[in-house]
Structure 1
Amino acid sequence: MANAKSKTTAAANPMPGKDVVIVESPAKARTIGRFLGSDYDVIATKGHMRGLASKGMNVDIENDFEPTYSLERGSGVVLTEIKKKVRRADIIYLATDPDREGEAIAWHLLEALGPKALAGKEVRRVVFHEITRSAVDEAFADHGVLDMDLVMAQQARRILDRLVGYTVSPVLWRTVRRGLSAGRVQSVALRLTVDREREIEAFNPVEYWSVLTRLAKSADSSLKFRATLHAIDGKGGDAKSGRYLVNNQEESAKLVADLEASAYQVTKVVKRETKSRPTAPFTTSSLQQEAARRLRFNAERTMRAAQGLYEGIQLGSGDPVGLITYMRTDSTNLATTAVAEIGDFIKNKYGADYFGRPRVYRTRSKNAQEAHEAIRATSVMRTPESIATHLSSDQRSLYDLIWKRMVASQMTDSVSDATTVDIEATGGPSGTSYTLRATGSVLKFQGFRAVYVEARDTITESDDSEENGSDTSRSLVPLDEGETVNLDELKSEQKFTRPPARYSEAMLIRTLEENGIGRPSTFAGIVSTIERRVYVEREGTRFKPTMLGIVVSDYLVQWFPDIMDTGFTASMEEKLDEVSR
């Protein structure tokens, strides 16, 4: 292969040209070219230049799994142009993205150029996580060499994917339907949706009755509040919800009769201060999840908008500039210089009470590359409002999310006064004692909520229209222990337990990440692939497996259990990550 560490060994070029800078995309080339000036030729490979040919396995299993690569369609013209520029250059700068794919693109280019074209050239690897003038200047001053561990990790993944695809897909052609295909990671994602559908089909709803009261202060009947049934004769109900659920209509009727004839007295009032912490800045996964919840973007749409923000936007008459850091990351770290700038901004705009000490977040992913940064705006001073006119609709919406999440992540906790009140209901015909509970929360200091609150996952399709991330207070009328209150309204409603929800895109991506399946660069592709193959379809915002998807998943589970096992796939991902370390 080409020696990425080689230094210039030939005599100086008698007709020196410009040094060559290699990037992936034309947009990135334009932005960097403006920073570097006329002394450099910045050329885009337009993605991967070489790969495993689509026809045939192209992996020699008998010869240590040696891959056979060929130029991608259309790459010959680009390679010819790069060779022309390289011929007169002394230095080649590899400025591809700072991850496995970027490292592999750079290595494949060197391999395609060959030793003859590289003779006497110095090859330098430059890495930056944001496309700003200062970051590019720093990267060029502190250049290094290709990381062959990352290259090998990318090759191992690609070869393994080819082995799985070309082994399993032909079997599907013969036994299910011609033209079908299977993938190492996508098939596991499909199984998750099929397994969830089976849980839903097997679910048996259980009847229960929910009791809700509205009470009023005896001293002032205009002061009313809601309370739910919490306990019967001191025996509590559901620990998670704090509610006591009645099993059937007969029990409900008895309870209603008792409550209608009972006297009500406040027996306990507990007040405490509660604090809420902001969420960490975005990783690829959390950005895709939040964009799905708030903006209804699918993962591919999110990444398209993020790519444009990263590669550079023309702001007025100045040079184009990258507005966000690299968008394929599993790290929640922020650079210390960025944190300092954010802190100053918060203090100046919101006041000293909104910024304490810098917050440090550690990602939950054991495979995260902590040297990378979270996704953030490259400058907090470029507020969403100040650059909105220069962005497309999608870019504007996504930048607003990224900027606000970044700022909020460094702000102080929100503070609320939470009140829990227990009311005893006694004197009914059965002699049973009932405990009702009312809760309230009053926000007394916004903290990070002044900027951003993370949306929540909806549980059912009907919840999707509800407002997410609301930070409104639920106030409670003032109540004291020992005072009496009156029953104003009593409701007892028949309900049934609900089956687990189908996966939304946000929920599926989070489940894949939690199970160690896929990586930041693959989440969007995993979801889009099973949808494109018509293995799943959307009902509203939820994925439902098609009959074809169910048949394919069941067949693969039966005959290729390891490939379809989440634990095996996660273990394989871990082993592949070890290659890059």
Structure 2
Amino acid sequence: MTTLVIVESPGKIKKISSILGAGYKVVASVGHVRDLPGRELGVDPASYKPSYVPTERGKGVLAKLRKEVAAADQVILATDPDREGEAIAWHLADALRLKQPKRITFTAITKEKIREAMAQVRGIDYDRVRAQEARRVLDRLVGYKVSPALSDRAGHALSAGRVQSPAVRLVVDREREIRDFQPVKHFGVELLLPIPGHWPENPKAVWRAQWDTRPHLVEGQEYLVDRGLAEQVATVRDVQVTRFENAFANRAPAAPFTTSTLQQEAGKRLKMKPKRVMDLAQKLYEQGAITYHRTDNPNLDPAGIEAIHSYAQSAGLELAGKLRTWKAKDGAQEGHEAIRPADVTALRAGEDTDQQAMYELIWRRAVASQLADARYAVRRVLLTGAVQGLSVRFIGQGRKLIDPGWLRVYGQDEPEEGDQAEPVNPIPKLEVGQGVRAVDARVLDKVTKPPARFKQSTLVAELERQGIGRPSTYAAILENITSRSYLIEDKKGFLSPSPTGEVIRDALVGTFAFANLDFTRELEDQLDMIAEQRMTYDQVIGQTWALLDRELGGLRQSQVNLPKSEHACPTCGAALRRRKGGKGFFWGCSAYPECKTALPDEKGKPGKARERKPQPEPSEHACPKCSKPLLHRVGTGKKGPYDFWACSGFPKCKASFENSNGTPVLDGAATR
């Protein structure tokens, strides 16, 4: 008896086959095999029923799978355990005409998880399929209804998307906050006080206290802007200890990684973009090194916790005093556990250095999550003084790590660019009422800073905070809007909007509800409700379709002038469009196929057309093989200078001959 197991990725076949053993054959669908048609809406306006066609790759995959299905005694669909995987399973069952299709899911490619899955065969969850189908149809409605309307107004191709457009809006709005920001100069004072027994022998043996400006602010003020007052306070030298506290503070570890937090942390620690993060995590999952990497649940399952506890005890690491749990973000599906190593005793995994670095980050975060808090000794001191009848107070605070706890495994976070690491402030033991004389004081010139531009990792964090889209889609969204040059990424990774991105934002906001952050979040909730049988597919699609139709009329009446293409085709004058081909980006004429002009992409702008060498004129010499005229080819190639005669019938005739004083050597044999 042969059981055919269909997974999504070919990378899983070898590992799963070795676990299942004889009697099983594992094959891959290579992701989606069907989708909505490419050149039409593909959704019936009366019934909202989508029409599916095999993808270009899917045609061949389905043909092979039909033969495999015919030869098997039973078929099990083992696509990924998320909604998209459920939808792929349904597409396979429908396209392959499987009766009563069998479905399994597993969150790690390990012997334990796969055997557990095989013992829990179920049917397809059609509610989850409909939720995913609704997501795909909603994306299609926005893309196919709004994008052409924008393009018609602009005269060249522009794109709108249910999630991509709110993402662009976030960056545009942040950029405008930065432009409109008015810096405020304000002032503080820092006292430098001696460490007994070390100063003055060591002039650097000082600790610091900051002037508390709050009692001196005018009502409504947030910052102290009177430099004269700050200079006056900076003359204080003698102060008295009014309050001194010795305390302890604990710092708990962060939760194990979800999809979103993995993208954020890998961006910060490994300097990787979300797409690269997801590609590496996919490879590690396929190798059986980590659990499933598309998840919004920050908690581990009991088996994962038990494994980490066992490892920590064997490695002499102190565990937390009680079981750690974390609250998921609002709207999280929590379908399966957080990301963790499949085998925590494996300290290294991955086939190259990037995969290994990713695995190590995941391993450290998961293990650290179950360890004891880091513990600090904290000292706080309140100093009071007076200057010219004005009472002033200074606050000093310092802390010292006394037990690293989970930091032994995960380490300290590095400060973001522009931030400063927390300074060490070695406050000595003091007594209340004790007088202290400062060795110096200085006025601190400060200025308020505008909000920071987003990077891809911080934009991911904001999208999640706003409840826009799903973490598993963030990498593709960012790839889309940066590749279309709606957002520009500088050398340091900071994102800013292009002029096109800004005008698209203005065309959509106030006209289309999907550009509003609240609406997008509520739509995500409605997709969840379909999966939970609290709303129907028809309800969600119907109300959104009707809304879009009304809003399209508003776009036609709006006064927003969409940007025309900056780049005209040098051949016919039509707009050039930036496209992505098999070898990267290029610029093609919007009048294609009438005009086939194509230019290389140079840093987001059209480059110069590559000059083609003129063909040599046909000669009077005929090819002895096919009788077509020979061409005299002279020039310099990758291998150096060349000078020979070749048949003009190339590539059908590949005859070539040496050159002798401008004449082909026709001795009956080709020489090249």
TM-score when scaled to structure 1? 0.86
Matched, 1:475 2:435: no
Matched, 1:431 2:389: yes
Alignment deviations for residues 459-507 of structure 1 (CA, whole Å, 9 cap, x no partner): xx533xx66xx8x965322222222222222221322211111112222
Instruction: Give the Å deviation of 1:44.
Output: 0.7
Q: 2:24 aligns with which of 36, 40, 53?
A: 40
Instruction: Give the Å deviation of 1:368.
Output: 2.4
- The runs of at least 4 consecutive aligned structure 1 residues that moved more than 4 Å come to 217-220
Matched, 1:551 2:540: no
Matched AA of 1:80: A
Matched, 1:72 2:59: no
Alignment deviations for residues 438-470 of structure 1 (CA, whole Å, 9 cap, x no partner): 111122222111111574773xx533xx66xx8
Please say which structure displays the higher CA radius of gyration. 2
Q: Alpha carbons of 1:310 and 1:76: their partners in 2 closer, same or farther (altered >3 Å)?
A: same
Gaps of 5+ in 2: 533-672
The question of whether the paired residues in 2 share the 8 Å contact of 1:218 and 1:486 is answered with no
Whole-Å separation in 1 of the counterparts to 2:217 and 2:280: 47
Q: Alpha carbons of 1:416 and 1:551: their partners in 2 closer, same or farther (altered >3 Å)?
A: same
Counterpart of 2:328 in 1: which secondary structure? coil
More helix by share: 1
Instruction: Give the Å deviation of 1:423.
Output: 1.6
Q: What is residue 147 of structure 1 aligned with on the other side? A: 125
Q: What is residue 470 of structure 2 aligned with on the other side? A: 519
Matches within 5 A, 1:249-398: 249-256=227-234, 258-259=235-236, 262-312=237-287, 322-351=288-317, 353-369=318-334, 371-384=335-348, 387=349, 390-398=350-358
Alignment deviations for residues 327-376 of structure 1 (CA, whole Å, 9 cap, x no partner): 0000012121221121121122125x43433322331333322x410001
Matched, 1:81 2:47: no
Counterpart of 1:285 in 2: which secondary structure? helix
The question of whether the paired residues in 2 share the 8 Å contact of 1:457 and 1:507 is answered with no
Whole-Å separation in 2 of the counterparts to 1:367 and 1:27: 28
Matched AA of 2:466: N
Matched, 1:178 2:178: no
Of residues 299-308 and 137-146 in structure 1, the stretch that sits farther from structure 2 once superposed is 137-146
Instruction: Give the Å deviation of 1:231.
Output: 4.5
Of residues 524-533 and 45-54 in structure 1, the stretch that sits farther from structure 2 once superposed is 524-533
Q: What is residue 400 of structure 2 aligned with on the other side? A: 442
Instruction: Give the Å deviation of 1:52.
Output: 0.4
Matches within 5 A, 1:211-222: 211-217=189-195, 221-222=199-200
Matched, 1:420 2:380: yes
Counterpart of 1:422 in 2: which secondary structure? strand
Matched, 1:452 2:430: no
Whole-Å separation in 2 of the counterparts to 1:226 and 1:254: 18
Matched, 1:462 2:418: yes
Alignment deviations for residues 127-183 of structure 1 (CA, whole Å, 9 cap, x no partner): 100001111111112211111111111111111111111111011111124121110
Count of residues paired in the alignment:
525
Matched, 1:20 2:4: yes
Matched, 1:226 2:208: yes
Q: Alpha carbons of 1:99 and 1:105: their partners in 2 closer, same or farther (altered >3 Å)?
A: same
Whole-Å separation in 2 of the counterparts to 1:338 and 1:111: 36
The question of whether the paired residues in 2 share the 8 Å contact of 1:22 and 1:95 is answered with yes
The question of whether the paired residues in 1 share the 8 Å contact of 2:331 and 2:525 is answered with no
Instruction: Give the Å deviation of 1:185.
Output: 0.7
The question of whether the paired residues in 1 share the 8 Å contact of 2:216 and 2:224 is answered with no
Of residues 494-503 and 20-29 in structure 1, the stretch that sits farther from structure 2 once superposed is 494-503
Counterpart of 1:433 in 2: which secondary structure? strand
Whole-Å separation in 1 of the counterparts to 2:113 and 2:426: 49
Matched AA of 1:363: A
Whole-Å separation in 1 of the counterparts to 2:412 and 2:516: 32
Q: What is residue 90 of structure 1 aligned with on the other side? A: 73
Of residues 322-331 and 141-150 in structure 1, the stretch that sits farther from structure 2 once superposed is 141-150
The question of whether the paired residues in 1 share the 8 Å contact of 2:208 and 2:425 is answered with no
Whole-Å separation in 1 of the counterparts to 2:142 and 2:464: 21
Gaps of 5+ in 1: 1-15, 239-243, 313-321
Matched, 1:538 2:489: yes
Q: What is residue 60 of structure 1 aligned with on the other side? A: 44
Whole-Å separation in 2 of the counterparts to 1:349 and 1:236: 54
Of residues 480-489 and 67-76 in structure 1, the stretch that sits farther from structure 2 once superposed is 480-489
Counterpart of 2:69 in 1: which secondary structure? helix
Q: 1:508 aligns with which of 449, 459, 471?
A: 459
Alignment deviations for residues 34-71 of structure 1 (CA, whole Å, 9 cap, x no partner): 21123222111111000001101111112x21111100
Q: What is residue 5 of structure 1 aligned with on the other side? A: none
Counterpart of 2:255 in 1: which secondary structure? coil
Whole-Å separation in 2 of the counterparts to 1:156 and 1:219: 72
Q: What is residue 12 of structure 1 aligned with on the other side? A: none
Identity of matched residues, %: 38
Instruction: Give the Å deviation of 1:414.
Output: 1.7
Counterpart of 2:402 in 1: which secondary structure? strand
TM-score when scaled to structure 2? 0.75
